[in-house]
Amino acid sequence: MCVPLTIARIDLYTTMTDTELAHAYPEGLSLWYRTADDRAVAATRTGRVQLTITGLTFHVTDKFPQAIRYPQWQP
């Protein structure tokens, strides 16, 4: 598990809001992070990039809290 500590840059390639994106892409967006170039990307199923994030640093931990309050956060 890791938590982002810093982000150098966020580039948006759409003017749609999150609600509009959810409606336009009900199947969701693909999310991935490439350690080689320190870049996170959100793209449509057809490969159209909607967002890139660069310059990420993380705090990595191998521990989960004993009780997680939100069920969607369960490992």
- Helix ranges restricted to H, the chain: 18-24
Looking at residue 2, what is its pLDDT? Answer: 78
Distance CA 51, CA 30 (A): 11
Residues in Cβ contact with 58 at an 8 Å cutoff, skipping those fewer than 6 apart: 2, 3, 4, 5
**What is this structure's pTM?**
0.69
What's the number of domains the chain is made of?
1
**pLDDT tens for each residue of 54-65:** 998 888 877 766
pLDDT class for 34, splitting at 50, 70, 90?
A: confident
Q: 56: domain range? A: 2-73
